[in-house]
Chain A
Amino acid sequence: MIWRALRRSPLALAGFVLVVFFAGVAVGARWIALQDPLAQDLAHRLAGPSPSHPFGTDSLGRDIFSRVSYGARISVLSGVAVVAAATAFGIAAGTVAGWNGGWWDDVLMRLTDMFLAFPALILAMAISAILRPSLTNALLAIAITSWPAYGRLMRAQVLSLRARDYIEAARAQGATETTIIVRHLVPNAIAPLLVQATLDVGGIILTTAGLSFIGFGAQPPTPEWGVMVSEGRSFLMDQWWVSTFPALAILLLVLGFNLLGDAVRDVLDPRLRKMT
């Protein structure tokens, strides 16, 4: 089913290829990188692209190609980890709220409203002002602002599906409540969440990079792409490669996830396709 959809749309295929490519770079960074991403070589600082340094070197002589390769690991992992955590928590919370209803439901809805009132970047900045600025804290903050959307989505799904016949049938067969929820309800409910999750990964990667750019996420000398763009900002016009290659990497990875997300949505729920 997936292959058919990919073959049908060149854009979806492009997205899939991009994501797989960067995932591959992330996994194989150790073999793809030409040298240690942290190794400095001050004699060759700010050198332009050349055979020995395909993406040039930065202000400390570090090879940018290697740094971009290792940075893929950080970006891909960050995006996937945050989305996975937020989705998992959202599924749990939404199921509890939608299934039990009443007080649980009210509390969840008000809680999600409160967290949804914060723009993610600003909350992440506040948290990193209080705790030490680090990639982990940044990801935590972003996950905190992301889960409410999945919670609400799951709740809506549960409310809609709990009255279906197959649930009733399972109950008539004597299945326990847990079994009904885990084996029947959740698998049928999560499709829109998966679509939303794939669509969100790109935005999360952008937010993480943005946070790191202004200094509140990953810290130097970590080869995170946002940090790298920031490191090259003062000489963007002359030694353009220092900032441009990491920025290009961000663009391609996020683009890949966005295209893939569109494709996932088209495959899993044709009704949602009308929205974009």
Chain B
Amino acid sequence: MSLLTYLARRAGLTVFVLFGVSIITFVITHIVPADPVAAYLGEHAPPALVEKVRHEIGLDRPLPVQYVIYITGLLHGNLGVSIMDTRPVDQDLAQYLPATVELTAAAMLVALLVGVPAGIISALYKDGWPDQVTRVLALGGVSLPIFYTALLLLGLLYSRLGILPGPGQLGIYTQPPPHITGMVAVDALLSADWAALGDALRHLILPALVLGYYSSGIITRITRGSLLEVLRQDYVRTARAKGIPESGVVLRHALRNALLPTVTVIGLTFGSLLQGAVLTETIFSWPGIGRYATNSVTSVDVPAVLGVTLVAAVIYSAVNLFVDVLYAYLDPQIRYA
């Protein structure tokens, strides 16, 4: 089938899945054991008031009706109002999402820049000491508790040694750049505010490194395995027999095919990046949706929690859709499956 057909099918499936996701999140938030209205109004609220508020919010309607109201609101971008800051949740999310995008993109960059070369070196020197060292480092990367490494590095490099700046996206004395995308470093770049850019990047390094290290371990392992597999193939042997120098064999023939599984892994690692972002943002006070999620859950801000869960699922599904289509573009065999 053509790429377009594949795209259409996968996109349709994604939409269907997202409907299911909305049902699941709706069900979860409506099996609250405690009565949210009573909790909100306080224990001394007269029952008449509780009933009135419940009727106003619409919580006394039958569940399927509530769901229809909910999903209609969703499609108009209405995610309810946060109890914490009494702002519409979609406004909260719009404010915090760019910071998370910035952090996860930087982390993904770190993971790829570290992981792919490490995997290649590891495969080319299989069983030699570069291979052993890289494998141990990669394995360590996926075994470390990210919250501890974040705390440790922040403590060492900021509190003790003062090399890197502290928590947050910008120093308190730095003037933030004008709001274009919402991503501080990008905005600073776009408005040629070099001071802010430098400060933003200095604040970005540590969280991105911590978050990216875990994923780099996975990427190293996949790249190594995939390249090893490709190097055993006949066409590589042919290339060598034709007299092509090893560097040409690797770069022109082997790598292109070996990197395909890495593309799929990007989708998977993005999921772990999102989760890692929750912990990293909380520790570095990074103003993203991960920290927003933590705060919402702590204050049992149901609309906010619901909003974050939905958005996370939507983003994750979108990324997987993109990766699947990209993979189908790169490897035509997949489309005919």
Contacts and interface: CB of A to CB of B under 8 A. Distances in A.
A276 B148 contact: no
Contact of B275 (A120, A126, A128, A250): A120
Interface string B6-49: 00000001001110110011001101110000000000000000
Most interface-central of A125, A229, A230, A275 (chain B CB within 10 A):
A125
A207 to B, nearest CB: 7
Contacts of A11: 135
| A-side interface mostly | helix
B84 to A, nearest CB: 12
Interface stretch (B89-97, B169-177, B188-196, B311-319): B311-319
B275 A119 contact: yes
Contacts of A125: 278, 293-294, 297, 305, 309
A26 interface: no
Contacts of A210: 145-147, 275, 278-279
B187 to A, nearest CB: 27
A202 interface: yes
A128 B143 contact: no
A255 interface: yes
Contact of A250 (B20, B148, B278): B148
A251 interface: yes
A16 to B, nearest CB: 15
Contact of A243 (B31, B148, B306): B148
A110 B279 contact: no
Contact of A122 (B135, B145, B275): B275
Nearest to B149: A247
Given A123-B309, A125-B278, A214-B282, A110 B228 contact: no
Given A121-B275, A247-B148, A275-B226, A202 B21 contact: no
B278 A114 contact: no
A254 interface: yes
Contacts of A113: 13, 16-17, 20
A206 interface: yes
B312 A118 contact: yes
A126 B221 contact: no
Contact of B151 (A120, A127, A243): A243
Contacts of B297: 125-126, 128-129, 216
- Interface size band for B: 35 or more
Contact of A276 (B147, B224, B320): B224
Most interface-central of A11, A118, A250, A259 (chain B CB within 10 A):
A118
Interface residues of A, number: 49
Contacts of A129: 296-297, 300-302, 305
Contacts of A120: 275
A105 B313 CA distance: 23
A110 B302 contact: no
B139 interface: yes
A202 B229 contact: no
A119 B274 contact: yes
A226 B282 CA distance: 15
B222 A118 contact: no
A114 B17 CA distance: 5
Contacts of B151: 229, 233, 236, 243
A274 interface: yes
B312 A122 contact: yes
Contacts of B16: 110, 113
Interface string B122-154: 000000000000010001101111111001100
A61 interface: no
Interface of A: 11, 110-111, 113-115, 117-123, 125-131, 202-203, 206-207, 209-210, 213-216, 226, 229-230, 233, 236-237, 243-244, 247, 250-251, 254-255, 258-259, 273-276
Given A125-B294, A126-B305, A247-B148, 4 more contacts: A110-B17, A126-B28, A128-B297, A275-B226
Closest 4 pairs between A and B when the two form their complex, measured CB to CB: A114-B20, A247-B148, A121-B275, A255-B143
